[in-house]
Amino acid sequence: MKALVKTRPQIGLELKEVPTPEPGPDEVRIHIMKSSICGTDLHIYDWDNWASHNINPPLTIGHEYVGTIDKVGSNVHDYSPGDLVSGEGHIVCGLCRNCLAGRRHLCRDTLGVGINRPGSFAEYLIIPVANVWPCDSKIPLELLTCFDPLGNATHASLSFNVIGEDVLITGAGPIGLMAASIVRHIGARHVVITDPNPYRVELAKNMGVSVAINPMEQTLKDTMNYLGMKEGFDVGLEMSGNPDALQSIVENMSHGGKVALLGLLPDTTTTAWNKVIFHGLTIKGIYGREMFETWYKMTTMLQSGLDISKVVTHQMNYKDYADGFDLMRSGQCGKVILDWEKI
């Protein structure tokens, strides 16, 4: 089969012929239809410091996808060839305290599809049947392939009650944009999103936010005055991994406000901890998706009218993958999707 492989510790990927994998007794083989490029994939493509410490070439990468089941293992009885599916990219141990308690998203020994084992930038992918998610065929394929990042956005957005609340989102990348649509969909009052990238600010304006601003050009204080807000934001969602963005959240939260951190901040990040304490802020770290409550919620939200279609800005054949990674690096895009149906 054809696959995009990180063959050696250097910049780039190679499109190669590799053996078609066979599913084990408790696994399924998925024929990939579409697979989208994640920021993690860009780290691996560019072979940055994180990638050099976490990736062992050769490796087929990619972990955001949709496809049809092609073959099932001997112990698989709930799925059949032809079923439309996606899958949870975190493969858990099943034995630690959190796994045994049903908190699989907190597993201490998680393996990542496309990070620790072969991924979805290929014609076929093998995953455990326990990680399979059945897809609603009425949902467009280009949205189904985004279920992994949509799950991150859903996990963060549903961590706190946002109904009637004012929400600040820092970072208008794909996950931040999806989060903006989610909190608006479920009833937030004002939704403000910030990003220094003009392209993404314009993209955010089409996602139903109250205000999208470039923090280099407009202050949050002025934005709150414009919206008639008196006491700060009730919920903050940090999606950028930028220390200045975290500081802007802490400085502009209402007393008792709640903050979800999904962006990966540098270890040296500091903030106004006295405000966190004296203003009674709650801070929650977000990683991955709750299995599988998050998957259920994002499916039902899409079925009930959630619109994230504008986040998908580019689709191309997998053979043009280098162009897709160039787009990702430029920041002049939302989600970039590779089509594997035309081999």
| Sequence-distant (≥ 6) Cβ neighbours of residue 290 within 8 angstroms | 105, 155
What is the rounded CA–CA span in Å between residue 21 and residue 41? 21
The ranges of the chain annotated as CATH 3.40.50.720 are: 153-285
pLDDT tens, position by position, 36-46: 999 999 999 99
The domain 2-146+308-339 belongs to what CATH superfamily?
Medium-chain alcohol dehydrogenases, catalytic domain (3.90.180.10)
Phi, psi of 315 (to 5 degrees): -130, 140
Output the pLDDT for position 343: 67
Which residues are marked as active site?
40, 43
Q: Which CATH superfamily is domain 153-285 in?
A: NAD(P)-binding Rossmann-like Domain (3.40.50.720)
Report the alpha-carbon distance of residue 249 to residue 170 in Å, rounded.
8
- CATH code 3.90.180.10 region(s) in the chain: 2-146+308-339
DSSP for 247-259?
HHHHHTEEEEEEE
Residue 215: which pLDDT band, with cuts at 50, 70 and 90?
Answer: very high
- What is the tens place of the pLDDT at every residue in 120-178? 999 999 999 999 999 999 999 999 999 999 999 999 999 999 999 999 999 999 999 99
| pLDDT tens, residue by residue, 165-205 | 999 999 999 999 999 999 999 999 999 999 999 999 999 99
pLDDT of the residue at 55: 97
Residue identified by tokens 């050769």 is: 58
- Identity of residue 272: A
Instruction: Catalogue the E-assigned strands of 231-281.
Output: 233-238, 253-261
**Sign of the dihedral through C-alpha 46, 48, 50, 53:** positive
